[in-house]
C-alpha cells in the first residue's frame, strides 16, 4: 500500500484542464474588465463577485489537478 505522504504530493499534470481553467479565468477577467469598459456593456462589477468567481476556479483546479481526484 502506498504511503499517504507520497500520494498527497503527486499533483497530476493535465495540461488540457489547466489550459481550460486559465482560458476561463482570462475570458471572465477580460469580460468584467477592459472589454466591459471599452464597450460600455454594464455598470461596475463588485470586486466580491470577481473574487468569488476566481475562488470557484481555484476550487475546480484543486479538485481536478490535485491528488483528491486520484483518491476519489
What is the per-residue pLDDT for 1?
46
Report if residue 59 sits inside a domain: yes
Report if residue 6 sits inside a domain: no
Distance CA 32, CA 63 (A): 25
Helices (H) and strands (E) in the chain, counts: 5, 0
Report if residue 36 sits inside a domain: yes
pLDDT at residue 54 is higher than 60: yes
Report if residue 20 sits inside a domain: yes
In the chain, the number of structural domains is 1
Report if residue 46 sits inside a domain: yes
- The residues, any chain, with a CB within 8 Å of residue 7's CB and separated by 6 or more, are 67, 70, 71
What is the per-residue pLDDT for 14?
79
What is the per-residue pLDDT for 2?
53
The number of CA neighbours under 13 Å toward the Cβ of 42 is 9
pLDDT at residue 11 is higher than 90: no
Residue 54 or residue 71, greater confidence: 54
Distance CA 65, CA 59 (A): 10
Amino acid at each position: 500500500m502506498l504511503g499517504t505522504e507520497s500520494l498527497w504530493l503527486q499533483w497530476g499534470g493535465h495540461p488540457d484542464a489547466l489550459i481550460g481553467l486559465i482560458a476561463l479565468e482570462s475570458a471572465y477577467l477580460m469580460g468584467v474588465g477592459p472589454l466591459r469598459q471599452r464597450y460600455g456593456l454594464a455598470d461596475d462589477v463588485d470586486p466580491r463577485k470577481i473574487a468569488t468567481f476566481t475562488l470557484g476556479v481555484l476550487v475546480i483546479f484543486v479538485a481536478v489537478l490535485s491528488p483528491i481526484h486520484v483518491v476519489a
